[in-house]
Amino acid sequence: MSLTDLSGRVALGIDVGGTNTKFGVVNHRGEVLEKGRIKTDDYAEVEDFVDALYENIRPLIEKFGTKASFDGVGIGIPNGNYYTGTVEQAPNLPWKGIIPFADLITAKFALPCSITNDANAAALGEMLFGAARGMKDFIMITLGTGVGSGIVANGSLIYGHDGFAGELGHTIVKPGGRKHWSTGSEGSLEAYASATGIAITAKKMRAEFPSSMLNQYPEDAINSKTVYECASKGDPIAIEVFRYTGQKLGEALANFVMFSSPEAILLFGGVIKAGDFILKPAKLHMERNLLPIFRDKVKLVFSELDEADAAILGASALVWEQKSK
């Protein structure tokens, strides 16, 4: 860390997840200068959480001498609404109802605060510091426990009229298909392409094929990591689990491409560790479902950001993006 970095402008990036909250001090070059974390689910009340966050971040702020170096706080948080600064009915957070999250942060930190959902923050991070640098049109898909997305068109995030745009994980890829464990919808992308969805597919397929290596694990050990282990060892059923997942993902991606014609689709999150097992069928089925004018044009790539820092970078990008408008 150079003196130049310390004397320059910085932003606070905070990534609030259901279990952990990560935070960091980020400079204009996208370097995470300081970082830390607290447990999200230790705090039943959001006010206690914000207090704890402040107590943990204060030493970092003091290290930089003055709050005046900070341009603001950017936060990625499930169901975070950019327009209203509220978090609304987030199923994976301990706090229910409509929470004025940005206001709570500003009141405590005395800094301007912008929030958005975690996938939008990730998209911003990629645009400013990652694989989407210089792109004006791209789609970020996060494949984790759930499937999230952030859509950039004409160089700006699409928030929609109410701040809730980009719920691509909940678009239907197979009408009347697999029922979603939480929303109840049938055949959504998330029901197939999330880590949760992959585990469901794997459990079904191993039951049909007793010879599959997947049957060597207890039920609760079946997840995208163990499926990957079996696929890497050549188990055809594990490979088929990812191929099927990739197909559903690719079919969905084709529809997204015909919507906003992005230069690239960026994939991010734990599921992409499956690599070509998912990427190749996803690419194949995306191309097959596209009109000829869209074919062989869209880059389908993995995020370049270090996963540990990406969420913090993305959240801090919200501060820079805000200021550049």
Among 195, 254, 271, 315, binds its own copies (CB under 8 A): 254
Among 24, 74, 166, 250, binds its own copies (CB under 8 A): 166
Among 52, 111, 153, 205, binds its own copies (CB under 8 A): 153
**Positions of E strands within the chain:** 10-16, 20-27, 32-39, 70-76, 87-88, 98-99, 113-116, 138-143, 147-153, 156-157, 264-268, 299-302
Tell me the DSSP string of 160-221.
-TTS----GGGSBSSTT-SBPTTT--BSBHHHHHSHHHHHHHHHHHHHH-TTSGGGGS-GGG
Q: Which is nearer to its own copies, 25 or 152 (CB)?
A: 152
Q: Which is nearer to its own copies, 129 or 159 (CB)?
A: 159
How is residue 11 written in tokens? 């932003």
43-82 positions binding its own copies, by CB under 8 A: 79
User: Is position 165 an interface residue for its own copies (rule: CB under 8 A)?
Assistant: yes
User: Is position 297 an interface residue for its own copies (rule: CB under 8 A)?
Assistant: yes
Binding residues for its own copies, rule CB under 8 A, total 45
Are 279 and 300 spatial neighbours (Cβ–Cβ below 8 Å)? yes
User: Is position 179 an interface residue for its own copies (rule: CB under 8 A)?
Assistant: no
Comparing C-alpha atoms, which of 73, 69, 67, 71 is closest to residue 85? 73
Find the part of the chain contacting its own copies (CB under 8 A) among 4-12, 15-23, 43-51, 129-137. 129-137
How is residue 302 written in tokens? 């993995």
Give the C-alpha separation, 42 to 146, whole Å. Answer: 22
User: Is position 325 an interface residue for its own copies (rule: CB under 8 A)?
Assistant: no
CB-based burial label for 18 (10 Å; 0-12, 13-18, 19+) = middle
Give the C-alpha separation, 30 to 28, whole Å. Answer: 5
Among 70, 129, 159, 244, binds its own copies (CB under 8 A): 159
Q: What is the closest distance, in whole angstroms, from the C-beta atom of residue 252 to its own copies in the complex?
A: 9
Q: What is the closest distance, in whole angstroms, from the C-beta atom of residue 204 to its own copies in the complex?
A: 19
User: Is position 293 an interface residue for its own copies (rule: CB under 8 A)?
Assistant: yes
Residues that bind its own copies (CB under 8 A): 79, 88-89, 135-137, 151, 153-154, 156, 158-168, 170-175, 183, 185, 251, 254-256, 258-263, 289, 291-294, 297
